[in-house]
A and B are shown apart, each in its own frame.
Chain A
Amino acid sequence: MFSYRYLFSQLVRRELRQKYKGSALGVLWYLVNPLVLMGAYTLMFGFVLNVQGASRPHPYPIFLIIGIVVWTFFAQSLLSAAPSLIEQGGLVRKARFPREVIPGSAVMVQFITFTALLVLVTPIALALRGSLSPSLLLLPVFVVLLFAFTLGCALVIAVLHAHFRDIAPIVAAALLPWFFITPIFFVANQLPPVQSHPFLGTLLDWVNPIAPFMLAIRSVLFYGRAPELGQVIYMVVAAAVVLTLGRAVFARMQGELAVIV
């Protein structure tokens, strides 16, 4: 795997450049979409739907964009990894390199824009909050855990989609409702139904595997405090289990790739 580092970096750079090649803004387009989403959701959830009313976190746009950035990384990673092995079929049929580099590079492309956005958002969040807390040092750790978790999911989805072409549309369909039950634009235990049925909050914050990542990153960036220990343990275990499982499934199913893609 190590000797294929250069291939990995080539694939990442190629993907980064290819998508917006010839456009005036170039790679800046990667940053435009989340910002537009932030504006639209602020308008929609904040003012039109008035989510959570007066108890809405403040400043709401910053609260929103942290969730959007994390979600965009996760969702776009899965969506771009799913067809990646088929799209790169020419490479797969040509040489015997570790096939993991293909979905891996798809996730890495999203990870690069994700970190770029975090670098952009963090100083703004800190300036608006007006305080600096040592918990911020945990941010890189959480980001790496999120990367590992997402990579594990992406490996499974990519190799499954190569075998069963229904996987990508299923993932795309699942991500839509998934977005709405993920605490991106709300704080679960402040929603009216959750206040009357507290177990719904537990469900939203713990059963959804992406929620602890979302909450932990927002905790250090938005609230400036370390997350609950439970969330940290959850993330470590989820990242380790999913990545191990993802690599095992990929290793098991990758043999026939050159024949089926």
Chain B
Amino acid sequence: MTAPGLRPGEIVLRDATRSFSIRADQARTFKGLLLGARADGPPPVPALRGVTLHIEPGETVGMVGRNGAGKTSTLRVLAGIVPLQSGEAASGGRMVSLLELGSGFSRDFSGRENIYLQGALYGFTKAQIDARIERIIAFSELGDFIEVPVKTYSAGMFLRLGFSIAAFLDADVLLIDEILAVGDEGFQRKCLRRISEQIAGGTTVVLVSHDARAIERVCERVIVLDAGRVVFDGPTAEGLLHYHQLMGTEHGGGESIRAGAARAIEVADVELRDGAGRAGTVFRTGAPLQIAVVLRERTPVPHPELALEIRSGEGHRVFSTVTELTKASTRIVFEIPSLALLGGDYDVSLAAGEPGVDPDADRTLRFSVATEAGAGGIVDLRGSWRELEPARVAP
């Protein structure tokens, strides 16, 4: 519950430690108790190992990490739903969490009735919910479905209702766990807009997501969790880089395939930079992008070349180019003045060697482009619409 001495929206975790038993049936039976039988199965999994965090009121924090890193556990601890085994967790003000989509809904009751139940669950009174219900219903876009039992709802409709309730109860702290992914692009954008409104109103937002784009758009601070520990806590751009590196090592070098030792010219380092020269992995359409490469020669090659290829997340080749190198050991930059790629994930592959070198042979790096409204696909063709004179249109 609200801790004394904390301002509304403030969150403090001190040395938080929590592990979970991962047996399918958590509850003990009398038999087990009476016979003193030890539970079968693997030992408890530590979800949080001495996590210390301080989140100020009005901060927007993204929490990333691989599956099982402790993100959802941290949210549950923050929400006060799961107690710690040691350490301390406290938050100030009213907290609303969007954790399990659709859970806690009464299937036989209408959307409207469920709004009241959910509001009550967070400690709101009927009058407080009455004051908000019209905005909740309007935002959910459920229309007449609001009077229909929620057992008839689709996953997307549950998300609409769940998000609308959480976003319009005016909490001091809003916890969101990886659920925006269910909605369509349009509703996702609308959710992000609503979240930014709440941020402007001073709400503290903690968002758990695997979606670097959502984190980048919403959060000013990123916490990277790995194996129950905070491995990074700082600005978003740096945090996402850290996260991508973490995921890169996870895939056994899938993001940077090193075969350098056997190669005549090794791509020793690749860095993606924005217009200001800062390293990053998330970029914007229309903004500059630089691919900086460091090459190291191991054995002489007569006519060395550097091959570069960019592929979409689905593996389609978007662009490739080859350049002749004057020196084999060098630093070289591929400069894109205005990125024509639209929102999505992309891989950039580089390799150097004799003419005809396969760009896939040495290094691959993944980067993301933030989604913008108003265009779809992978390439921004920079076109614009122009209306013709009405008189010229044939009747």
A90 and B80 contact, Cβ closer than 8 Å, known pairs A164-B29, A259-B26, A260-B26: no
- A163 within 8 Å of B (CB atoms): yes
With beta carbons under 8 angstroms apart, the residue of A4, A18, A21, A163 that contacts B120 is A4
- Cβ of A5: which chain B residues have Cβ within 8 Å of it? 125
Interface stretch, picked from A91-99, A130-138, A148-156, A178-186, is A91-99
- Cβ of B37: which chain A residues have Cβ within 8 Å of it? none
A10 CB → nearest B CB, Å: 5
Q: How many A-B residue pairs have CB under 8 A?
A: 84
- Cβ of B81: which chain A residues have Cβ within 8 Å of it? 92-96, 258
Q: With A and B bound together, what is the CA distance between A130 and B89 in angstroms?
A: 64
How does the 8 Å CB contact mask read for A76-107 relative to B, with 1 for contact and 0 for none? 00000000000000111111110000000000
Interface size counted on chain B using CB atoms at 8 A: 35
Q: With A and B bound together, what is the CA distance between A93 and B123 in angstroms?
A: 15
With beta carbons under 8 angstroms apart, the residue of A10, A96, A167, A259 that contacts B117 is A10
A10 contacts B116, C-beta separation under 8 Å: yes
- B104 within 8 Å of A (CB atoms): yes
Q: With A and B bound together, what is the CA distance between A178 and B82 in angstroms?
A: 38
A165 contacts B27, C-beta separation under 8 Å: yes
| Dominant secondary structure of chain B at its interface with chain A | loop
- A162 within 8 Å of B (CB atoms): yes
How does the 8 Å CB contact mask read for B89-128 relative to A, with 1 for contact and 0 for none? 0000001010110011110110001001100111111100
A258 contacts B33, C-beta separation under 8 Å: no
Q: With A and B bound together, what is the CA distance between A66 and B128 in angstroms?
A: 42
Q: With A and B bound together, what is the CA distance between A167 and B97 in angstroms?
A: 32
- B76 within 8 Å of A (CB atoms): yes
Q: With A and B bound together, what is the CA distance between A21 and B97 in angstroms?
A: 30
B79 contacts A259, C-beta separation under 8 Å: no
A202 CB → nearest B CB, Å: 32
With beta carbons under 8 angstroms apart, the residue of A4, A91, A167 that contacts B104 is A91
A91 and chain B: residue at smallest CB distance: B104
- B260 within 8 Å of A (CB atoms): no
- B45 within 8 Å of A (CB atoms): no
Q: With A and B bound together, what is the CA distance between A256 and B27 in angstroms?
A: 10
A96 contacts B80, C-beta separation under 8 Å: yes
- B83 within 8 Å of A (CB atoms): yes
B104 contacts A95, C-beta separation under 8 Å: yes
Within B45-104, which residues are at the interface with A (CB < 8 Å)? 76, 79-83, 95, 97, 99-100, 103-104
A6 and B125 contact, Cβ closer than 8 Å, known pairs A94-B97, A255-B83: yes
B27 contacts A94, C-beta separation under 8 Å: no
Interface size counted on chain A using CB atoms at 8 A: 30
A8 CB → nearest B CB, Å: 8
- Cβ of B31: which chain A residues have Cβ within 8 Å of it? 166
- Cβ of A91: which chain B residues have Cβ within 8 Å of it? 103-104, 121
B99 and chain A: residue at smallest CB distance: A94
- B30 within 8 Å of A (CB atoms): yes
A93 contacts B126, C-beta separation under 8 Å: no
B30 contacts A18, C-beta separation under 8 Å: no
With beta carbons under 8 angstroms apart, the residue of B1, B20, B30, B100 that contacts A96 is B1
Q: List 10 A-B pairs, minimum CB-CB distance, nearest first.
A: A96-B80, A7-B120, A90-B103, A166-B30, A94-B104, A90-B104, A260-B26, A258-B81, A255-B83, A10-B120
> Which A residues form the contact surface with B (CB < 8 A)?
3-7, 10-11, 14, 18, 21, 90-97, 162-167, 170, 255-256, 258-260
Complex A-B: 29 CB contacts under 8 Å:
A5-B125, A6-B125, A6-B126, A10-B116, A14-B106, A14-B117, A18-B109, A21-B108, A90-B104, A91-B103, A91-B104, A93-B104, A94-B100, A94-B103, A95-B79, A95-B104, A95-B122, A96-B95, A97-B122, A164-B29, A164-B33, A165-B27, A165-B29, A167-B30, A170-B30, A259-B26, A259-B82, A260-B26, A260-B27
